Amino acid sequence: MKLYTKYISLLLKSQLQYKASFTMTVVTQFIQPFALFAGIYFLFQRFGNIQGWTLYEVFMCYAVVGICFATSTCFARGFDSFAEMIRTASFDRVLVRPRSTVLQILGASFDIKRIGHFMQSVFVLVLAIISADISWDLARVVMLANMILGGSVIFSGVYMLQAAAAFWTIEALEVANIFTHGIKEHASYPLNIFPKWITILFTFIIPFGTINYIPLQYLLGKIDGTGWLYAFIPLLGSLFIFPCILAWKFGVRRYSSAGS
Amino acid sequence: MKPYISLLQVRFLNGLQYRAAALGGLATQFFWGIMLVFIYKAFYGGAASSNGFSFQDLVSFVWLQQAFLSFLFLYDWDSEMLDMITTGGISYELCRPVRIYQVWYVKLLSKRLSRGILRFAPVVILGFIMPYPYNLSLPGSPVSLLLFIVTLFLGLFLLVAISMLIYISIFKTMSPIGSVGIFSIIGEFFAGMTIPLPLMPSWLQNICMALPFRWTADLPLRVYSGNIGTPEAITGIAIQSVWIAILVLAGAFIMKRITRLSVVQGG
């Protein structure tokens, strides 16, 4: 852990050196998601609601997913760009060091510029919380925190799987975008609008449903039940990370260097 | 003219080599299309049509959008050209006995052409065989199909002209992420790539009509289904041509001025 904080503080310092470029990127990251935001807004202006869900409820979904996406791309950036490491065989260097590979890849990259996207999502979240009619209690607060935590873990898991796949493919897997950028774009909407197979895919296989749709139903007062039960469903979903770590370990064991 | 045509050929053939990437792209585009179609279905609910835009037309819009993404998407990250601007490699480019605007235009055009040609067919086929009502419909009429092809290609020429202006703006901003990122997202929104024009409020539609972006994507995609009729499509072709002329001339002019005045970066 101490080593990790050291890694991060070094990366942070190096990125903050280029002030103009840093500011420009953060501003871009902040502005970009507004296109999707505006798109959702105008669709609701035209149609009123989407199967009983209102604009602010969907914004809540959008914001949670956005925060998780920004957080995990910031921290797990190393896994996102891992294919490059395989291709150039710089992964060899990681292997000879006496520390865990996961820690080193996590520490290899830290993309603080994602703060722009993060801020945009927080902005939408605040907007949604003010405007949506939610009867807050302790269980719901814990639930929201768990949703953000769980979602970040699941996104990181997907990045890890994508990186693990690179052990076999040696190149970046464009298909993985479906589950990172695809989720970011489309997971703003409640899962029940999709056909069964998509719902199952996002509940049991890549469990994004556990961090937005299922707890949100309770959070927004759409279903009754034990609040604390729903509060911990996101954590159940984040168990997804374990098979991902397993896949990663399996990949590492199989690794044979690509270059000189 | 000849060097530019051979450059187009070489680049086009080169682009056709990336078949594995195209396959990965296919899965992504297909999944994207499916998700969008279901989301719109939920919005439409039982309604067959909204603001004169029927659900069937919308579904065709989505599938064609996914199939011809490289003809329609403004965002384009050409690291070769970006590096040239920010690291000073452009000075070599300026020494060559060809016009730099034309060369870059051809490079961008050929990249989009090869990607589009390589990728569109599978998505179109998958779109056709989707179950009703999630399937790509046949074109409104043979004339619609013809007009679709014409507007699609004119739209591509216009898109590349806009894209060139974005690259040129980097000479001023010196921030590829800023220029490409922000201008692309704004342009795509006004082009109807985020949500189709008929689903926008009317004041926003008016803004879109006055800007060049809408003529690159929204026009061809709606001409296909006949949602935009023949007379309107022909007017559209005229407007596309005028925009192409204006933006290409403007781009070439600014490029000439900037390259004359520019300070080459790097040592």
pLDDT digits (tens, 9 = 90+) for A14-45: 877 777 778 888 888 888 889 989 999 999 99
In angstroms, the CA A128 to CA A53 distance is 13
Interface of A with B in 47-66 (CB under 8 A): 47, 50-51
Q: Which residues of B are less than 8 Å from A42 in CB distance?
A: 195, 199-201, 204
B196 preceded by a cis bond (ω within 30 of 0): no
- pLDDT of B264 strictly over 70: no
Q: Which residue from A28, A38, A45 is facing B178, i.e. has the nearest CB?
A: A28
Confidence of residue A259 (pLDDT cuts 50, 70, 90): low
Confidence of residue A132 (pLDDT cuts 50, 70, 90): confident
Q: Which residues of A are less than 8 Å from B32 in CB distance?
A: 178, 182, 185
pLDDT tens readout for residues A70-100:
999 898 888 888 877 877 778 888 888 888 8
Q: Which of A186-190, A210-214, B65-69, B129-133 has the lowest mean pLDDT?
A: A186-190
* Tokens 């209690």, located at residue: A137
Contact between A178 and B32 using a beta-carbon 8 Å cutoff: yes
Contact between B194 and A39 using a beta-carbon 8 Å cutoff: yes
- Percent share of chain A, pLDDT over 90: 30
Confidence of residue A118 (pLDDT cuts 50, 70, 90): very high
Please compute the mean of the pLDDT values over residues B16-41 and round it to a whole number. 85
Residue B229 pLDDT: 92
Q: Cβ(A211)–Cβ(A152) under 8 Å? A: no
Confidence of residue B72 (pLDDT cuts 50, 70, 90): very high
Residue B194 pLDDT: 92
**B221–chain A nearest CA distance, Å:** 18
Please compute the mean of the pLDDT values over residues A143-152 and round it to a whole number. 94
Q: Which of A115-124, A158-167, B35-44, B196-205 has the lowest mean pLDDT?
A: A158-167
**A169–chain B nearest CA distance, Å:** 11
Q: Which of A129-133, A141-145, A184-188 has the lowest mean pLDDT?
A: A184-188
Residue B146 pLDDT: 96
Strand partners, A53: A50
**A137–chain B nearest CA distance, Å:** 31
Chain B interface, mutation test: which of A22, A34, A50, most B Cβ atoms within 10 Å? A50
CA distances from A178 to B24, B121, B166, B255 (A): 10, 20, 27, 38
Residue B7 pLDDT: 87
Residue A172 pLDDT: 66
Contact between A43 and B195 using a beta-carbon 8 Å cutoff: yes
Confidence of residue A144 (pLDDT cuts 50, 70, 90): very high
Q: Which residues of A are less than 8 Å from B50 in CB distance?
A: 46-47
**A174, exposed or middle or buried, with CB in 10 Å at 0-12, 13-18, 19+?**
middle
Confidence of residue B163 (pLDDT cuts 50, 70, 90): very high
Confidence of residue B39 (pLDDT cuts 50, 70, 90): very high
Q: Which residue from A36, A171, A182 is facing B35, i.e. has the nearest CB?
A: A182
Q: Is A17 on the interface with B (CB under 8 A)?
A: no
Looking at chain B, which residue has its C-alpha nearest residue A43? B199
Q: Is A149 on the interface with B (CB under 8 A)?
A: no
**Of all helices (H) and strands (E), which one includes residue A120?**
helix A115-131
What is the rounded average pLDDT for all residues in chain A? 86
Residue A127 pLDDT: 93
Q: Cβ(A59)–Cβ(A67) under 8 Å? A: no
* Tokens 């105008």, located at residue: A42
pLDDT tens readout for residues A228-256:
888 889 999 999 999 999 999 998 888 87
Q: Which residues of B are less than 8 Å from A170 in CB distance?
A: none
Looking at chain A, which residue has its C-alpha nearest residue B29? A178
Residue A145 pLDDT: 93
Looking at chain A, which residue has its C-alpha nearest residue B173? A24
Contact between A32 and B36 using a beta-carbon 8 Å cutoff: no
Please compute the mean of the pLDDT values over residues B24-32 and round it to a whole number. 85
- Give the ipTM of the model, two decimals please: 0.88
- pLDDT of A154 strictly over 70: yes
CB within 8 Å of B209: residues ≥ 6 apart: none
pLDDT tens readout for residues A176-232:
777 788 888 887 888 888 989 988 988 898 898 898 889 998 998 888 888 788 888
Looking at chain A, which residue has its C-alpha nearest residue B44? A47
Residue B246 pLDDT: 97
Query: How much is the pTM?
Result: 0.88
Contact between A193 and B195 using a beta-carbon 8 Å cutoff: no
**B22–chain A nearest CA distance, Å:** 9
Q: Cβ(A21)–Cβ(B181) under 8 Å? A: no
Report DSSP letters for A143-201, one per residue.
Answer: HHHHHHHHHHHHHHHHHHHHHHHHHHHSS--GGGGGGTHHHHHHTTS-GGGS-HHHHHI
CA B34 to chain centroid:
21
Q: Which residue from B25, B188, B199 is facing A46, i.e. has the nearest CB?
A: B199
Residue A39 pLDDT: 94
Contact between A32 and B21 using a beta-carbon 8 Å cutoff: no
**A95–chain B nearest CA distance, Å:** 29
In angstroms, the CA B247 to CA B254 distance is 10
CB within 8 Å of A90: residues ≥ 6 apart: none
Looking at chain A, which residue has its C-alpha nearest residue B182? A28
What is the rounded average pLDDT for all residues in chain B? 89
Residue A107 pLDDT: 80
Q: Which residue has the higher pLDDT, B27 or B208?
A: B208
Q: Is A25 on the interface with B (CB under 8 A)?
A: yes
Confidence of residue A258 (pLDDT cuts 50, 70, 90): low
Chain B interface, mutation test: which of A178, A189, A202, A206, most B Cβ atoms within 10 Å? A178
Q: Is B122 on the interface with A (CB under 8 A)?
A: no
Residue A93 pLDDT: 83
Instruction: Report residue B102 as tokens.
Output: 């034309």
Rounded to the nearest 5°, which phi and psi values hold at B56? -60, -45
Q: Cβ(B152)–Cβ(B222) under 8 Å? A: no
Looking at chain A, which residue has its C-alpha nearest residue B45? A51
Contact between A195 and B38 using a beta-carbon 8 Å cutoff: yes
In angstroms, the CA A4 to CA B140 distance is 60
Residue B263 pLDDT: 62
Q: Cβ(B24)–Cβ(A175) under 8 Å? A: yes
Confidence of residue B262 (pLDDT cuts 50, 70, 90): low
Confidence of residue B188 (pLDDT cuts 50, 70, 90): very high
Which amino acid makes up residue B101? Y
Contact between B24 and A174 using a beta-carbon 8 Å cutoff: yes
Instruction: Report residue A190 as tokens.
Output: 């409640």
**B21–chain A nearest CA distance, Å:** 7
